[in-house]
Chains A and B, each alone.
Chain A
């Protein structure tokens, strides 16, 4: 796409007066449905042609490649380069769009081809060298090699054998509400966003009074998607009523939970939606300046948001007198220095102010006493994306999803041992079982489901008999887990629960800011106690210590990091106490993970004497004894498990 090409955002002819200095109220609708102020066939045609080019690609050929961080990590860049190369070789002109992630992480890298007259086909796990072949077969009208189709036309070969995208299990149960543009629109183009109905919510908000915007969000029943689930409208109306100017809005894009990436996915695939939500929030509370606080480890997310803000500013959607509404607002993207605690709102404010990211005691809450001592609203990326969508589609539709107290949809990230991993958007209230077994397809082959960790290192671990729990704020909290950011880590029977609890505790221990005693010292005590249990030195008293110190941290810590840090331990003590007891009383690890508690032995009957294990052993603990048999010297063995991996006859066992 040439830089000097006419875009929908530009003037169609000299009659158009819109610019960032002289904004026009109907700019957004005019750009897509216009021109509205004058009638000119040529101008109208120009728009219609450009819209079809965006939707269907240049010359009716459009190739979209999933290039979010996740796609790039598995080689989408190579697929992109290969596509350009192959198109050039064939002399084809087409639009090649680096779209965001659609959520099908287990299928990355994804390539989607659309040609007018053929069904739109999606190819999963594409390698650069197979791009040419995919192009050739597709253009010949053969889609039998595709993983899924977006639509059926009835003209292509093999069309009926390939499932429709909406029919594959991973997407069948989803309601794509905020993720609707993910993997479809070009995230780097404001034009694409407007073509796909973007910024309509902002226009609607600017047409109504700020109080009415808050009222709409209240009727929708939107609650914060960052974890605590505080009603968004209430936060806004407290801030609106609070005294002090200027007011600020902050978008919390500091997503740090291991296993949660929905904010990254949203902001990378559809940054304008987040920005739109932020502008609406600013309008509702009367803020004049905003910040987007992005985790430094997610550079693409920061780049995309920065680019979005720049584009919006250029076309008068951000800045002075937005769309002639007399409302002015600007935003700055800030990259965090990379501490997990920055996700805590008061720590984030301290970081934005230029200080060390340490939380402070609330109250006073940021809504009345926030950034630089002024009223500040802090909303999470997903919450803001919801705001934009609620304003454009109406609260009724949003409120029709979900349960009584928790309305709408939520994006969950499924990772760990699930058969299909990725991000899914489902109505709140879906049961954990449906999410794991229907959407994610259960655990990987050959393994058995053991537990699911919901809400990252601050969440809890639920066993199989708790899976019929609906995923809403209240139910999860009462079961000892939290909704948190919505990350689900599926744990199979090859994992030791105590080891997992120690892993999460080591994370919070390292990420504790060290300000208050319960979190700083408590997390260390918990970690040391768990280490003692794992290494076989645990006593009955240790379980009491875990419970006592864990409860103390939960009750007395300063911020949510410390208050939720013992959740993995307290919930596993509640549901998997027998596993702790096995470590302490029997000195054995039921999952055979904790290396100090397992021993390795070679079964004489199965060993064929190939000697691979002896070669592999890093400490020469395996020696030949007798004619063909090998033997492991327990005193030298470091229990690394390498011998098990190389043994062709499965003759080595853990005990």
Chain B
């Protein structure tokens, strides 16, 4: 058995265990994303990084073996910053189509993004957690597909359309995905835009996003031959 210091908490663990296992024993939670023991442990997502105290080195806790008197910090500024950028990088290459995603909102990525303040996942992902029908099927001009998730607001549970209070997602791919839904369900884009202006007209990028929305809608209509 070796003694390890995790965030100042001393625990005794087997000599060949990982920092993640030691942290679990110490009752601390380190977020993971690509870690599936017995199936895939390759330390590729780098969300579970922790800092080796005193060295400033960030190491993935899921595979890094403990050694005697090893001291790590699991939640300092540098660690949180690294995790945030890792999540942003994952989102940058993630096809965000929560409405059609089989996970139906039960999504670890969403959870972590919310925890680390990463924007870019639409409200739909959260809405799906509460069940119920998508408001777009009732041709409601819901702003969920183009609004940042994280509000956990009352509208989600009440079945009210989203009014976009957490600000728009500016990623072109996400907006394209949203426009596909709007055009597909026959939601009027004018209604969407007028609702959008309620909270977002003071956004610095307001004009740009409106233009993007209209252009993409035009494109989508053209594609569908409407």
Q: Does A548 have its Cβ within 8 Å of any Cβ on chain B?
A: yes
- Stretch of A214-222, A359-367, A451-459 at the chain-chain interface: A359-367
Q: Does A175 have its Cβ within 8 Å of any Cβ on chain B?
A: no
Per the bound structure, the CA–CA distance linking A145 and B148 in Å amounts to 77
Per the bound structure, the CA–CA distance linking A522 and B46 in Å amounts to 12
Per the bound structure, the CA–CA distance linking A521 and B92 in Å amounts to 8
Q: Are B89 and A361 in contact (CB under 8 A)?
A: no
Residue of B nearest to A514 (CB): B44
Q: Does B136 have its Cβ within 8 Å of any Cβ on chain A?
A: no
Given A361-B43, A548-B85, A517:B90 Cβ within 8 A? yes
Q: Are A518 and B89 in contact (CB under 8 A)?
A: yes
Q: Does A301 have its Cβ within 8 Å of any Cβ on chain B?
A: no
- Stretch of A325-333, A501-509, A551-559 at the chain-chain interface: A551-559
Q: Are B45 and A517 in contact (CB under 8 A)?
A: yes
Q: Does B170 have its Cβ within 8 Å of any Cβ on chain A?
A: no
- Give a binary string over A554-567; 1 marks a CB under 8 Å from any B CB, 0 the rest: 01111000000000
Per the bound structure, the CA–CA distance linking A557 and B42 in Å amounts to 13
Give the size category of A's interface with B: 20 to 34
Q: Are A518 and B46 in contact (CB under 8 A)?
A: yes
Provide the residues of chain B in CB contact with A364, threshold 8 Å.
Answer: 65
Q: Does B82 have its Cβ within 8 Å of any Cβ on chain A?
A: yes
Q: Which residues in window 59-93 of B have CB below 8 A to A?
A: 59-60, 63-65, 78, 81-82, 85-86, 89-90, 92-93
Q: Are A558 and B58 in contact (CB under 8 A)?
A: no
Instruction: State how many angstroms separate the Cβ of A398 from the closest Cβ of chain B.
Output: 31
Provide the residues of chain B in CB contact with A521, threshold 8 Å.
Answer: 89-90, 92-93
Per the bound structure, the CA–CA distance linking A361 and B59 in Å amounts to 9
Q: Does B124 have its Cβ within 8 Å of any Cβ on chain A?
A: no
Residue of A nearest to B93 (CB): A521
- Pick from B43, B78, B81, B93: contact of A558, CB under 8 Å: B43
Provide the residues of chain A in CB contact with B82, threshold 8 Å.
Answer: 552, 555-556
Q: Are A361 and B60 in contact (CB under 8 A)?
A: yes
Residue of A nearest to B85 (CB): A552
Provide the residues of chain B in CB contact with A516, threshold 8 Å.
Answer: 43-46
Give the size category of B's interface with A: 20 to 34
Per the bound structure, the CA–CA distance linking A116 and B81 in Å amounts to 72
Provide the residues of chain A in CB contact with B93, threshold 8 Å.
Answer: 520-521, 524
Per the bound structure, the CA–CA distance linking A364 and B63 in Å amounts to 10
Q: Does A515 have its Cβ within 8 Å of any Cβ on chain B?
A: yes
Q: Does A549 have its Cβ within 8 Å of any Cβ on chain B?
A: yes
Provide the residues of chain A in CB contact with B20, threshold 8 Å.
Answer: none
Provide the residues of chain A in CB contact with B92, threshold 8 Å.
Answer: 521, 524-525
- Give a binary string over B19-53; 1 marks a CB under 8 Å from any A CB, 0 the rest: 00000000000000000000000111110010000
Provide the residues of chain A in CB contact with B63, threshold 8 Å.
Answer: 361
Provide the residues of chain B in CB contact with A522, threshold 8 Å.
Answer: 89
Instruction: State how many angstroms separate the Cβ of B109 from the closest Cβ of chain A.
Output: 12
- Give a binary string over A507-544; 1 marks a CB under 8 Å from any B CB, 0 the rest: 00000000111101110110000000000000000000
Q: Are A517 and B86 in contact (CB under 8 A)?
A: yes
Residue of A nearest to B33 (CB): A517
Provide the residues of chain B in CB contact with A552, threshold 8 Å.
Answer: 81-82, 85-86, 89
Provide the residues of chain B in CB contact with A524, threshold 8 Å.
Answer: 92-93
Per the bound structure, the CA–CA distance linking A558 and B89 in Å amounts to 15
Instruction: State how many angstroms separate the Cβ of B83 from the closest Cβ of chain A.
Output: 9
Provide the residues of chain B in CB contact with A557, threshold 8 Å.
Answer: 46
Instruction: State how many angstroms separate the Cβ of B20 from the closest Cβ of chain A.
Output: 12
Residue of B nearest to A522 (CB): B89
Q: Are A556 and B64 in contact (CB under 8 A)?
A: no
Interface pairs A-B: 9 shortest CB-CB: A521-B89, A552-B85, A361-B43, A555-B58, A556-B46, A361-B63, A516-B44, A556-B82, A556-B58
A–B complex contacts, Cβ < 8 Å, 13 sampled: A363-B64, A516-B44, A517-B44, A517-B86, A521-B90, A521-B92, A521-B93, A524-B93, A549-B89, A552-B86, A556-B82, A556-B86, A558-B44
Extra pairs beyond A361-B43, A517-B46, A552-B81 (20, CB < 8 Å): A360-B42, A363-B65, A515-B44, A516-B43, A516-B45, A517-B45, A517-B90, A520-B93, A521-B92, A522-B89, A524-B93, A525-B89, A548-B85, A549-B85, A549-B89, A552-B85, A555-B58, A556-B58, A556-B85, A558-B46
